Chain A
Amino acid sequence: MVSVRGLNKWFGPLHVLKDIDLTVAAGEVVVVVGPSGSGKSTLCRCLNRLETAGQGSVEIDGEPLPAEGRALARLRADVGMVFQSFNLFGHKTVLDNITLGPTRVRRVARPEARQQAMTLLERVGIADKANHHPAQLSGGQQQRAAIARALAMQPKVLLFDEPTSALDPEMVNEVLDVMVSLAAEGMTMIVVTHEMGFARRAADRVVFMDDGRIVESGAPDDFFAAPQTERARDFLSKILQH
């Protein structure tokens, strides 16, 4: 579903992604972990070209990412993205946030789009907030609305860029629960996160990044029980000791 070959990315002189190769099959849930600055968010953002790759190729469902313009917009519609800071449209109600993409990009009729949006809001448990503005919602509710917005496009793959990092601890689980149920339903997901519990529960594969490289990749049980590399052992010992 997603195929990354020889991806390199520079921010000025800073080499942030180094020879990344990653293949994600349909229905697979890949969790990307690693220390801050290891390039995991940048990798995630390269997958729908919010960042442009310096070198290498990204293919979604067999199609190379178009450089720009309408073709890129069309492809992005198939790649859902959930951001760390939610990025709900502040001037629109939750319902209008969700229907904007389907009505403008997919040309779905408004009543139908609203109906679908309500179904999605029920699914993420905030149907009662449909007519509220984002600022009137808690962080966890905003993030669930943002997931509903991404789902409304019926994406082939969902990208999560640290979806719970900006949330109060007590709101993390309500978002993770939604993500776990999506994973269980067979959604193809690439999740950048520090939530190791989610990786254990929902991931088919854990990818560990450090210093712009994919250092290790394996099943979550193997990765957490017996990391192959010194760097991964060191990382896990630091975050799992509490």
Chain B
Amino acid sequence: MDALTAHLSEFGHGLVTTVELTVVTTVGAMLLGIVVATLRIAPVPLLRAIGTAYVEVFQNLPLLALLVLFVFALPTIGITFPLFTSAAIVIAVYEGAYLAEAIRAGINTVGVGQAEAARAIGLTFGQSLRHVILPQGLRAVIQPIGNICIALLMNTSLAAAVGVVELTQAANTVNLVEAQPIAVFTGAGLAYMLLALIIGQVTGLLERRLAIVR
């Protein structure tokens, strides 16, 4: 326990970074997910192809490989971002592919009749999506979206590999000093678990609050 209490500020900073990374990335990944899911159901074949290509590329590459590529390869062609920004961009882009597929599944649960009725009153494709299809489609997949957000939280620990000092990296650093891996990593693990439980609770709350009267 001393190993934990003696380094509360390192753990604290790590935890805050993990939470920041998770929040920023979740917002980015949701926006990307909605855009890509929309591309995949767009009436224009080229847009659908772009959406499909996006999902196939980013779902089928390891996140660690993408992180390393982005952080170490881009600077060789003169593009550099701060480490935190790099990690946030890569994780958002990667999780966005998973969210896009969950959101597309939600969109598919909305009956064709809803889209036809929306078009019949003169809504454009974008308006139908925003006011009729997405509000119902997203509600149908709140739970899977929550699961992806938990996976996203866990995946933020890979940012340690490219030098972001988040919770896992903080634990690693403390362990180098204290050499008490059981206490240090159990502590970090419990913190991840707590965050995941919070995401789960929020998911459940949203699901109950936004349930459509059937």
Contact = CB atoms under 8 A, between A and B. Distances in A.
B213 A133 contact: yes
Interface string B199-214: 0000000000000111
Interface stretch (A71-79, A191-199, A229-237): A71-79
Interface string A84-121: 01011111000000001100110000000000000000
Interface in A36-88: 48, 50, 68-70, 73-81, 83, 85, 87-88
Given A91-B136, A133-B213, A153 B121 contact: yes
B108 interface: no
| Chain A CB within 10 A, most for which of B43, B113, B122, B127 | B122
Given A133-B213, A135-B214, A87 B123 contact: no
B116 A83 contact: yes
A105 B136 contact: no
B47 to A, nearest CB: 14
Interface in B109-164: 111, 113-114, 116-124, 127, 131-132, 135-136, 139
Contacts of A32: none
A231 B116 CA distance: 33
A87 B136 CA distance: 13
Contacts of B117: 81, 83, 87-89, 146, 149
A105 B212 contact: no
Nearest to A136: B213
Contacts of B113: 83, 85, 87
A203 interface: no
A4 interface: no
Contacts of A136: 213
Given A90-B212, A91-B136, A91-B139, A105 B114 contact: no
A124 interface: no
Contacts of A2: none
A150 interface: yes
Contact of A101 (B43, B116, B122, B214): B122
A150 B121 CA distance: 7
B123 A101 contact: yes
Contact of B121 (A70, A76, A90, A91): A76
A147 to B, nearest CB: 12
Contacts of A73: 119, 122-124
Given A104-B131, A133-B212, A133-B213, A89 B120 contact: no
A74 B122 contact: yes
Interface residues of B, number: 22
A100 B132 CA distance: 10
| Chain B CB within 10 A, most for which of A73, A85, A88, A153 | A73
Contact of B119 (A50, A85, A88, A100): A50
Contacts of B123: 73, 100-101, 104-105
Given A87-B114, A91-B139, A135-B213, A101 B121 contact: yes
A85 B116 CA distance: 11
Interface in A3-52: 48, 50
A50 B116 contact: yes
B114 A90 contact: yes
Interface of B: 43, 111, 113-114, 116-124, 127, 131-132, 135-136, 139, 212-214
17 contacts: A73-B123, A76-B120, A77-B122, A87-B114, A89-B132, A89-B136, A90-B136, A90-B213, A100-B131, A104-B123, A104-B127, A104-B131, A105-B122, A105-B123, A135-B214, A149-B117, A153-B122
Given A50-B119, A133-B212, 13 more contacts: A73-B124, A74-B122, A79-B120, A80-B121, A81-B120, A88-B117, A89-B114, A91-B139, A91-B212, A100-B131, A105-B122, A105-B123, A153-B122
